[in-house]
Amino acid sequence: MNKNYKEWLNKGWLFFTVAVLFLWAKTYYGLKTAFTLDIENSIQQFILIITPISSILFFLGLAFFFSPKRRNKAFMTIYFLLSFVLYANVVYFRFFNDFITLPVLMQYKNFLDLGGSAKSLMHPMDLLYWVDFAILLIWLLRSKAKPALAFRKRTIGMIYAAVIGIAAVNLNLAEQERPELLVRTFDRAKLVKLLGIYNYHIYDSVMTAKTSSSRVFADSNELTEVLNYVNSKQGQAGVNGEYFGKAEGKNVVLVSLESTQNFVINRKMNGQEITPFLNDLIDDSFYFSNFYHNTGQGKTSDSEFIIDNSLYGLSRGAVFTTNANNEYNATPEIIKEHGYTPVSLHGNHDSFWNRNTMYKTLGYDHFYSKEEYHVTDENSVNYGLKDIPFFEQSMPMIKGLDKPYYAKFITMTNHYPYVTNNENMEMIEPAETGDGSVDRYFQTVRYMDESVKKFFEMMKEQGEYEDTIFILYGDHYGISENHNRAMSEILGKEIRPFEHVQLQKVPLIIHIPGMEGKEMTTVGGQIDLKPTILNLLGIDENNDVQFGTDLFSEDREDKTILRDGSVVTDKYVYAAEAELCYDKETGEEIDGEACAPLKQEAQTELNYSDKVVNGDLLRFLESETEKTEE
């Protein structure tokens, strides 16, 4: 063996080269098999091949700056972290069809409570993401030479020159494939496809830092600009319409229907109704059949935030976690000034989604959480307390509240992976698509429907029903794009971008005892619930920042904006991720020019809402109101 070759081995060149190849190979494998990246041409395929290289060299190269004694340990630590980042995204993507952001990592406490959900997302083949780490670790431990990666400064310089060169080529090709890529932060799939998973996280960290600085540099002039926008929008919708004050003085009960999409309403599975109680209830209620969720990564917490504030959740992370100490003008705080007792009830830990902090910020008087319920192995499943015992144990709490009250019930049995733990919960046969999550989904939806039925019965028995309005809403989608094959079988049609947007419909049922209901076809979303509730209660909140409009207003524009930038109107559906425009009635793809104004308006409105949240602009609201009055 010649001298140069021995030196190459002894200095760790072979070890370093193999490590880079291992990490590149499994990263490319993950990008190709674990994520839905829609490679459109050979250039994008080439980009996918080279994207991991620059970031792998950059991060592994950092080990060279440690002392020789610590270099091996540093190298393996970095290697482990890169492997973990890749694998964490693989598991996260399986359910959320999305990529992890830094704000999401701030919600790490949530993952401690995932239980069966997390286990169901892990597959035996996932060992492929860790076998290389085991091989390298054994190599280091058994190697007599104990590679210390003793590279000369010139060699290290060459490695980082390669990093810069490859990164420059990558970015240039990415910009050619997607102009303005780095300003389209909501499209994380394209960022990963064209920048790579590790470069995406570098970019995400920069954006997080930029967002964090927004509050420091914000001023009241930004709020004035937002107020001008929302006031013009509210003016177009009219005020104090036909239903203003129709529920004045009544209790308000909101029921969050976990993961419930609108397609289950009035649908049968194996000849049985999936939601028999809700189907009957809509005949005697205001049923909004064109109602969409507006949530992002915050899922259930986003829906809560949107409904209480008429502000959008953030494009990255969850407001409940990232901006819990902001100043808000939320519904609980507003109605408390009108004599209401606002509370929330949920059979999970009070710290999940940081609710114990955020609820205080929003103005809730009390949060009845898992600690105040009797939870056992028999009456719990998946995330916690089953829906039927949840409602049963909640009744004494409701009965003891000062009236009128504003009470939000958050169900959770119908949560991924949609499991049951006894035959009593299985009130309908599962579907038979071969996709376990989709097949079981209908069973847990049916159980949830039964729990709501029992809740209404108990409200009547305890004399709470007549003086209460009930608002039942789906919080977010239950079945992601990862299950399109099974959903195509359920719906009997291909899931195109048009159908994907339509699947973001969730139920909204407003039941007011004594009032005749009807189907409402106006296009709206969760963003519209705050002004709708306040108007029903006869509360006129002037000079407020809310992006929604009263769903009962005859003058409101039939439109809602989804968090990903998609827009639905009574005429068009703009699917943002695919950048396609459709006729809403026929589902036919049409010229994109028809949706161009909608695309622009969505970007404007979402940016304004993000400014309010990231800049904590509502802390200036009182001073702005005083200026207006003067």
Match 């004050």 to its residue by tokens. 245
One domain for residues 490 and 448:
yes
Give the confidence band of 49 by pLDDT, cuts at 50, 70, 90. Answer: very high
| pLDDT computed for residue 185 by the predictor | 54
One domain for residues 433 and 495:
yes
**For residue 526, which of 506, 552, 496 has the smallest C-alpha distance?**
506
- CATH code, 381: 3.40.720.10
d(CA 444, CA 70): 52
Q: Are 320 and 109 in contact (CB under 8 A)?
A: no
One domain for residues 181 and 129:
yes
Q: Please tell me whether the overall predicted TM-score, pTM, comes out greater than 0.85 for this model.
A: no
| pLDDT computed for residue 542 by the predictor | 74
Least confident of 41-50, 138-147, 608-617: 138-147
One domain for residues 202 and 287:
no
The boundaries of the domain holding residue 45 are 3-212
The answer to whether residue 154 scores a pLDDT higher than 90 is no
| pLDDT computed for residue 1 by the predictor | 47
| pLDDT computed for residue 8 by the predictor | 47
Residues 340/346/348/349 CA torsion (nearest 10 deg): 0
Average pLDDT of every residue of the chain? 88
In our burial notation (b when 16+ CB lie closer than 10 A, e otherwise), range 383-396 reads: bbbbbbbbbbbbee
DSSP reduced 3-state for 415: coil
The two structure tokens encoding residue 494: 């291909």
**For residue 336, which of 316, 362, 306 has the smallest C-alpha distance?**
362
The answer to whether residue 602 scores a pLDDT higher than 50 is yes
Least confident of 44-48, 327-331, 337-341: 44-48
Element of type H or E holding 396:
helix 387-399
Q: Are 555 and 237 in contact (CB under 8 A)?
A: yes
One domain for residues 254 and 203:
no
The answer to whether residue 566 scores a pLDDT higher than 70 is yes
d(CA 87, CA 76): 16
The answer to whether residue 624 scores a pLDDT higher than 70 is no
| pLDDT computed for residue 40 by the predictor | 77
Q: For the chain, state the CA radius of gyration.
A: 27
One domain for residues 193 and 325:
no
**316: number of Cβ within 10 Å:** 24
d(CA 518, CA 578): 35
| pLDDT computed for residue 3 by the predictor | 54
* First-last CA distance in the chain: 89
One domain for residues 173 and 229:
no
- 442-485: pLDDT as tens digits: 999 999 999 999 999 999 999 999 999 999 999 999 998 889 99
Match 């409101």 to its residue by tokens. 556
Helix and strand element counts for the chain (H, E) = 25, 19
Average pLDDT over residues 329-346: 96
Q: Are 310 and 608 in contact (CB under 8 A)?
A: no
| pLDDT computed for residue 404 by the predictor | 97
User: Residue 606: what are its φ and ψ, rounded to 5°?
Assistant: -65, -35
Give the confidence band of 187 by pLDDT, cuts at 50, 70, 90. Answer: low
One domain for residues 204 and 223:
no
Q: Are strands 384-385 and 380-381 parallel, antiparallel or unpaired?
A: antiparallel
One domain for residues 438 and 583:
yes
Give the confidence band of 600 by pLDDT, cuts at 50, 70, 90. Answer: very high
DSSP reduced 3-state for 546: coil
Relative orientation angle of helices 68-96 and 13-33, to the nearest 10 degrees: 10
Residues marked active site are found at 300
The answer to whether residue 184 scores a pLDDT higher than 60 is no
The answer to whether residue 324 scores a pLDDT higher than 80 is yes
**For residue 86, which of 156, 175, 23, 18 has the smallest C-alpha distance?**
23
State which of 212, 247, 280 marks the end of a domain: 212
d(CA 102, CA 91): 16
Least confident of 69-73, 79-83, 142-146, 352-356: 142-146
One domain for residues 230 and 187:
no
Tally of domains in the chain: 2
Give the confidence band of 64 by pLDDT, cuts at 50, 70, 90. Answer: confident
